[in-house]
Structure 1
């Protein structure tokens, strides 16, 4: 009997190990509840707004985030600190070739490669690493996030900065152009997201 129990235990261990660990489940992002915000700064002030998350699926194993893909539609970018004509002009400029080329490159995608649980500052619980593709250019990024899992619902919050010039968005950058003066736009812009996904 002991031999049988030992054999069964070893078989279970082998199956778990060679099958790639715990079974992965998919959690679909609720695009109505989830929000992606952006903040851009220049010498004379800041602008902020949102972009719509088109769709996304997260992979979960043993209650932990292990992978997934998020797709953002750059044609939906909105400016929230302006109104009327100026709002429309800035939104159009951000969609243009100077910035995100929304007609040629409609989607920005983020493919999660790993999520490591860590005790970080500001209540963040994980360090997330993945491939971010903007304008057809893919770069690996890492950022801290606060991730919780409860009753089949995963919630994630993060706030971090990206250097736009790594994706060849150089318009108004003091790193590439001289004598811009008060027209200089800083290279780093802030991204904030609240995501809810359910299995």
Structure 2
């Protein structure tokens, strides 16, 4: 009788313990591409240029309301300058789409896949992911902040890792004031 009571007690504890733990809920939230945007900014000796790139598709993954993953597909054919107009805008947009820069005919999309996410505060995270541009994949670390159904991320990209060498002083001598710096910024304002 003692063994039966002991076994029943153990079974009761195991059952109660099993049902008392809530399973981790994983939720995939699609990014609303029409109301989200990515702004780029590139720097050169004599100033800078900036513009936008459209998101083709994207989602963020949450576990128990904390960011745990994500994936972005960027439509590189939409790269456009916003600080120029007319002929100069057309020339720079065309040059950015050419093989000197992003080669969008061959590589129409860029992809970012989150690999590791760490909370750094109540609404902020450090993300390490794989970024693929022009068919080349490299790790990248960046910050993202989430407030309700909105998020903001900031990335600094070294273009040389993706074979974008045009006017880089790392590869070409004598460029003087024609140098374009190797890093460019991406800032994403997202809604999901």
What is the TM-score of this pair, normalised by structure 1? 0.86
Aligned mate of 2:175, from 177, 180, 185: 180
Aligned mate of 1:189, from 161, 171, 184: 184
1:19 counterpart residue number: none
Deviations 1:113-146 (A, max 9, x none): 1211014xxx971101111000010111111221
Residue 128 (str. 1) matches residue 111 (str. 2): no
Hey, what's the Cα distance between the residues in 1 that align with 2:15 and 2:105?
Answer: 57
Residue 42 (str. 1) matches residue 49 (str. 2): no
User: Structure 2, unaligned stretches of length 5 or more?
Assistant: 1-7
Aligned mate of 2:15, from 8, 17, 20: 8
Shift of 1:160: 3.0
1:32 counterpart residue number: 34
2:3 counterpart residue number: none
Hey, what's the Cα distance between the residues in 2 that align with 1:195 and 1:10?
Answer: 40
2:63 counterpart residue number: 61
Aligned mate of 2:152, from 154, 157, 173: 157
Residue 102 (str. 1) matches residue 104 (str. 2): yes
Hey, what's the Cα distance between the residues in 2 that align with 1:104 and 1:129?
Answer: 26
Contact 1:124 1:144 survives alignment (8 Å): no
Shift of 1:11: 3.1
Hey, what's the Cα distance between the residues in 1 that align with 2:49 and 2:132?
Answer: 23
Contact 2:141 2:155 survives alignment (8 Å): no
Aligned residue-pair number: 185
Shift of 1:159: 2.2
Hey, what's the Cα distance between the residues in 1 that align with 2:179 and 2:26?
Answer: 46
Shift of 1:3: 4.0
Q: CA RMSD in A?
A: 2.0
Residue 88 (str. 1) matches residue 95 (str. 2): no
